[in-house]
Amino acid sequence: MNGHRAMIPERNGKQLTPKDFIVEPITLKKGLVGAKPEKVCRWILDLLNVAEGDEVVDLYPGTGIMGRVAQEVTALPCYVCGENDKQTCSCDGLAY
């Protein structure tokens, strides 16, 4: 596993554990059979307990959506300029 501790849910609190099912409309005409909607990608990453700073390698990139969503989910915010992803921010993460 990736070393992240599972969060202990609060009694009557917000649900923290990922759902073990998902209801999403099937994707049609995305040019590739098996194309996953973004929500499904996020759900899969959630099940894997992927967090900021993790590296996700999509072995079957297909339309590339999983890679894009994983990039968003794992992006570390830049503390210098405040952008969401220090890899792509405009200040180039000068403090790092």
Are 58 and 85 within 8 A, CB to CB?
Answer: no
**Closest Cα partner for 63 from 38, 87, 26, 43?**
38
Closest to Zn ion by CB, 18 vs 93, is: 93
Structure-token pair, residue 31:
């040019």
CA angle 91, 95, 96 (to 5 degrees): 105
Closest to Zn ion by CB, 69 vs 78, is: 78
Draw the binding track, 66-95, toward Zn ion (x: CB under 5 A; -: no contact): ------------x-xx-------x-x----
Residue 71, helix vs strand vs coil: helix
Interface with Zn ion: number of residues (CB under 5 A): 5
Closest to Zn ion by CB, 36 vs 86, is: 86
Closest to Zn ion by CB, 17 vs 87, is: 87
Minimum distance, C-beta of residue 69 to Zn ion, in the bound complex (Å): 22
CA angle 39, 43, 44 (to 5 degrees): 120
Q: Which residues of the chain form contacts with Zn ion (CB under 5 A)?
A: 78, 80-81, 89, 91
